[in-house]
């Protein structure tokens, strides 16, 4: 291939389409008064089957647009990088050389996945975050309160972000900040004396504590002495009274154990389980003292607050009248402790947009306190999920959601008796596909919007659903199994990828595969999974359109059959990578 100059911010060793883009930029800058970098910044992916498109007006070149275009077109010479250029209104569409593109893309995928010298699959990754550390705090349910779908959304989006940052070279610390502190634990402790049962607790701690919480809450409504007892109890907890803390410790540990199992089911893992209870009294006191000396605190009826009206953030109460801490104070102290411990370059909080004000308040307080790292705190918010109740009623617990996803999917699969019988472990498979369905429906929706969950859509194998994606992956994985005489494939240098150039569908697939590293980069910019979901569906569609024309079984020409299998194997790698990025477990069989 003709050699190319380098352009800052590109890395052809990780994204070979960069080379093709540079080749186009080079032609532009040779024909027009543009530097290579200026030209490069104008080369975008095309729409509707065009490879790359340049919107000429953006360069603001003096003179008529037709003349500018003519300069590019007249001097154009096709080569191994670029095949053709056409003018379409004010756009120039460039078509890359089909044979080179297919070969370069597939070989790059192969060398960074199946034939990777380290055994690690790195296609799609980049080094943009090298040397940097990020804490991603997500899920963060409240012990003894319900795990609502908002927590599920935080879990799904947070797990995606953790994978994404890793793919971009960051060191990632996944953190779960449990709601394991606050007056409600005084209430539960009071309730436990009345309603608690060791056996129930051992059976399902999360559920039992929740039941107690509901029951004692009811009592408290009609009997003020219950509330008073609860407040007293919590005060003792805050003061570190070991007797008051004993039960709470056990509850917390049991709840974490149960959550850990459920997270494992969801393919989600935390490096650190912390919680509101772990925020040290000393760091909160020190923070309040600092706020006090800086003159930022005002007194209101015994409570202490920080005036944030100037920023339209209201008044932030940081300490209650009785001296006990609150949610906001714990977040302030918690952030300070985390910085001291981890020296992060960035800290992300994945929390529902219902808490926009809370997050903005404590970010602002930290900024006012003069912490330079306050600017590195990021709130990734998301909208509400509506309609996620099981057939038995409203969902309260994570394990109910997981179970329902498995059941719904299992029933769906049983409708096709023949296929069902062929599945090795149908319950397990149904569960995995069901979870995929839930996650995909969540991540396909734009993060910030509200969306309505739909079990019927989630379980369908048709349309842009989780089951459809798993099915696409399974089908790809089955090709090698069904054509054992072709495997193992010879090394990439011996595969005649040029034989694929005659198939338009093969070209489409290869080009799409080539865009994956950019899909990852764009996701990093938008901090959201929906673009990756869209990519996975586009790829799955491109593959399913190819089945009839790019056939492997029945192909008599051995070299052609090999080249096609190679294409599908590369497609499987990339679809699998995109699915794993979305925290899914791609299935091999179903």
Q: What is the contact surface with ligand ARG in residues (CB under 6 A)?
A: 137, 140, 142, 177, 179, 331, 349, 351
Q: Which two tokens stand for residue 545?
A: 């359109």
**Long-range contacts for 82-90 (Cβ within 8 Å, ≥24 apart)?**
82/20, 82/23, 82/24, 82/27, 85/27, 90/55, 90/56, 90/57, 90/65
Which strands, in side-by-side order, build the sheet including 171-178? Answer: 272-275, 171-178, 133-137, 346-350, 377-380
Q: Closest approach of Cβ 179 to ligand ARG, in Å?
A: 3
**Residue showing tokens 């995606």:** 160
Q: Closest approach of Cβ 234 to ligand ARG, in Å?
A: 17
Bridge partners of residue 43, in order along the sequence: 54
CA-based nearest residue to 148, from 94, 210, 89 = 210
**Residue showing tokens 């990021």:** 378
d(CA 472, CA 476): 6
CA 163 to chain centre: 7
The residues carrying an active-site annotation are 145, 148, 151
Beta carbon nearer to ligand ARG, 98 or 142: 142
Q: Determine which helix (DSSP H) or strand (DSSP E) holds 347, and give its type and residue range.
A: strand 346-350
**Crossing angle of helices 558-581 and 530-546, rounded to 10°:** 160
Beta carbon nearer to ligand ARG, 142 or 163: 142
3-state secondary structure (DSSP) of residue 559: helix
When CB distances to ligand ARG are compared, the closest residue is 179
d(CA 119, CA 523): 25
d(CA 125, CA 109): 11
Cβ distance 134 to 346 under 8 Å?
yes
Burial class (CB in 10 A: 0-12, 13-18, 19+), 420: middle
Q: Closest approach of Cβ 178 to ligand ARG, in Å?
A: 7
Q: Closest approach of Cβ 208 to ligand ARG, in Å?
A: 19
Q: Closest approach of Cβ 153 to ligand ARG, in Å?
A: 12
Q: Closest approach of Cβ 145 to ligand ARG, in Å?
A: 7
3-state secondary structure (DSSP) of residue 98: helix
Cβ distance 538 to 512 under 8 Å?
yes
Cβ distance 184 to 145 under 8 Å?
yes
**E strand segments, 70-143:** 82-88, 91-96, 133-137
Q: Closest approach of Cβ 403 to ligand ARG, in Å?
A: 22
Bridge partners of residue 306, in order along the sequence: 297, 316
Residue 203 C-beta-side C-alpha neighbours within 13 Å = 7
Q: Which two tokens stand for residue 155?
A: 């879990």
d(CA 56, CA 239): 69
Q: Determine which helix (DSSP H) or strand (DSSP E) holds 10, and give its type and residue range.
A: none
Beta carbon nearer to ligand ARG, 110 or 137: 137
Beta carbon nearer to ligand ARG, 108 or 140: 140
């Amino acid at each position: 291939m003709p050699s190319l100059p380098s352009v800052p911010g590109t890395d052809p060793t990780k994204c070979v389409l960069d080379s093709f883009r540079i080749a186009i930029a080079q032609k532009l800058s040779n024909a027009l008064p543009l530097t290579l970098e200026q030209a490069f910044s104008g080369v975008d992916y095309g729409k509707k089957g065009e490879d790359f498109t340049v919107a000429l007006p953006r360069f603001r070149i003096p003179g008529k647009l037709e003349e500018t275009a003519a300069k590019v077109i007249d001097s154009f010479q096709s080569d191994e990088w670029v095949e053709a250029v056409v003018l379409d209104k004010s756009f120039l569409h460039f078509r890359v050389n089909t044979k080179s593109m297919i070969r370069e893309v597939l070989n790059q995928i192969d060398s960074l996945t199946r034939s990777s010298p380290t055994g690690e699959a790195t296609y799609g990754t980049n080094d943009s975050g090298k040397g940097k550390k990020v804490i991603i705090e997500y899920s963060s349910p409240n012990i003894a309160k319900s795990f609502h779908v908002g927590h599920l959304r935080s879990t799904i989006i947070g797990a995606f972000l953790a994978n994404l940052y890793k793919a971009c070279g960051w060191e990632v610390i996944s953190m779960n900040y449990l709601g394991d502190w606050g007056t409600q634990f005084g209430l539960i402790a009071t309730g436990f004396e009345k309603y608690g049962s060791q056996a129930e607790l051992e059976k399902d701690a999360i559920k039992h504590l929740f039941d107690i919480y509901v029951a004692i809450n009811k009592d408290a409504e009609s009997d003020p002495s219950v509330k008073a007892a609860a407040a007293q109890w919590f005060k003792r907890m805050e003061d570190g009274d070991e007797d008051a803390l004993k039960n709470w410790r056990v509850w917390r540990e049991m709840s974490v154990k149960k959550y850990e199992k459920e997270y494992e089911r969801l393919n989600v893992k935390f490096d650190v389980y912390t919680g509101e209870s772990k925020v040290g009294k000393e760091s909160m006191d020190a923070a309040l003292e600092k706020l006090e000396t800086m003159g930022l605190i005002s007194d209101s009826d015994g409570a202490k607050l920080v005036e944030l009206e100037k920023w339209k953030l209201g008044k932030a109460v940081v300490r209650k009248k009785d001296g006990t801490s609150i949610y906001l104070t714990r977040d302030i102290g918690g952030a300070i402790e985390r910085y001291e411990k981890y020296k992060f370059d960035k800290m992300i909080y994945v929390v529902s947009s219902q808490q926009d004000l809370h997050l903005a308040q404590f970010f602002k307080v930290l900024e006012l306190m003069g912490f330079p790292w306050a600017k590195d705190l990021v709130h990734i918010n998301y909208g509400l999920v509506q309609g996620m109740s099981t057939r038995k009623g409203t969902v309260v617990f994570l394990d109910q959601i997981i179970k329902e996803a498995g059941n719904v999917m299992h029933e769906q699969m049983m409708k096709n008796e023949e296929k069902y019988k062929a599945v090795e472990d149908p319950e397990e498979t149904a569960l995995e596909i069901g979870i995929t369905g839930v996650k995909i429906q969540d991540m396909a929706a734009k993060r910030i919007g509200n969306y309505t969950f739909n079990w019927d859509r989630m379980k369908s194998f048709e349309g842009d659903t989780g089951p459809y994606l798993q099915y696409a992956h399974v089908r790809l994985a089955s090709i090698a199994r069904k054509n054992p005489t072709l495997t193992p494939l010879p090394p990439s240098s011996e595969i005649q990828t040029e034989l694929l150039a005659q198939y338009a569908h093969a070209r489409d697939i290869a080009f799409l595969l080539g865009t994956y590293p950019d899909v990852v980069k764009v996701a990093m910019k938008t901090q959201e999974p929906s673009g990756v979901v869209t990519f996975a569906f586009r790829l799955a569609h491109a593959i399913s359109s190819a089945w009839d024309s790019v056939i492997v079984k029945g192909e008599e020409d051995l070299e052609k059959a090999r080249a096609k299998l190679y294409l599908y194997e590369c497609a499987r790698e990339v679809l699998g990578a995109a699915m794993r990025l979305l925290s899914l477990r791609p299935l091999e069989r179903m």
